[in-house]
């Protein structure tokens, strides 16, 4: 979900200052990758320009921008449309990993070994995430779960591809 849509969603909850939006974004959506203040205010300015949010009067107090932003009906409609529309189930057919395997087979390099190394890297990451979910609060656990399920899906693909490498090698070499 894009940053503008996420901020718009946070605004639908309640009118907020840029500072509050950044705090909530970083807590729930930007884990490990905080949103720069500059991007928050630039995004809010664009949302206001496009009629999806309105800025209130500047309020007295510290900080560079003490305007409170509120969502407009157009903004609310956009949030609703985004939430109701299923995301595109992308098949990811041209992943880096797929390209590496095909290239390795084309070049007569040990594709199976490369896949094993990739498996090792995935398992290391899964160990880290498992540690996060063991120790962390529920939000961290659920986010780690998301990562774990995706890595697990990649591993299933690696298993299947490893089992079918001979077949793929014949196909690649014949073309």
Partner 1 sequence: MNNSLIRARGVVKSFGQTPALRGADVQVAAGEILAVMGPSGSGKSTLLHCLAGIFPPDEGEISFDGQRLDQMDETRRTELRRTAFGFVFQFGQLVPELTAADNVALPLLLGRIRRKAAYQVAGQWLTRLGLEDKGGRRTGELSGGEAQRVAVARALAVGPRVLFADEPTGSLDSLTGEKVMDLLTSLARERGVTVVLVTHDARVAAYADRQVMVRDGRMATLEPSATLGGLRR
State the number of binding residues for partner 1 (CB under 8 A): 21
CB of 145 to partner 1, least distance (A): 9
Q: What is the DSSP string of the chain?
A: --HHHHHHHHHHHS-EEHHHHHHHHHHHT-TTSPPPHHHHHHHHHHHHHTTSEEE-PPPSSSSS--PEEEE-HHHHHHHHHHHHSPPP----TT-HHHHHHHHHHHTT--HHHHHHHHHHHHHHHHHHHHHHHHHS-HHHHHHHHHHHHHHHHHHHHHHHHHHTHHHHHHHHHH-
CB of 122 to partner 1, least distance (A): 8
Chain residues 115-134 in contact with partner 1, contact rule CB under 8 A: 116-117, 119-120, 122-123, 126-127, 129-130, 134
Q: Which is nearer to partner 1, 27 or 130 (CB)?
A: 130
Which one of 102, 155, 168, 172 is in contact with partner 1 (CB under 8 A)?
155
Positions that interact with partner 1 (CB under 8 A): 108-110, 113, 116-117, 119-120, 122-123, 126-127, 129-130, 134, 148, 151-152, 155, 159, 163
């Amino acid at each position: 979900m894009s940053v503008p849509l996420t901020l718009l969603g946070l605004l639908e909850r309640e009118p907020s200052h840029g500072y509050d939006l950044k705090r909530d974004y970083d807590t729930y959506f930007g884990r490990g990758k905080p949103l720069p203040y500059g991007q928050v205010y630039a995004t809010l300015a664009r949302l206001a320009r496009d009629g999806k949010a309105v800025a209130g009067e500047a309020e007295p107090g510290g900080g560079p921008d003490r305007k409170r932003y509120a969502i407009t009906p157009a903004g609310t409609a956009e949030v609703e449309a985004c939430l109701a529309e299923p995301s595109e189930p992308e098949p990811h057919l041209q992943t880096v990993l797929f390209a590496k395997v095909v290239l390795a087979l084309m070049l007569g390099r040990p594709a199976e070994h490369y896949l094993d190394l990739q498996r090792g890297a995935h398992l290391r990451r899964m160990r880290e995430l498992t540690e996060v979910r063991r120790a962390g609060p529920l939000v961290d656990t659920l986010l780690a779960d998301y990562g774990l399920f995706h890595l697990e899906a990649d591993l299933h693909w690696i298993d299947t591809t490893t089992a079918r490498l001979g077949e793929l090698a014949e196909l690649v070499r014949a073309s």
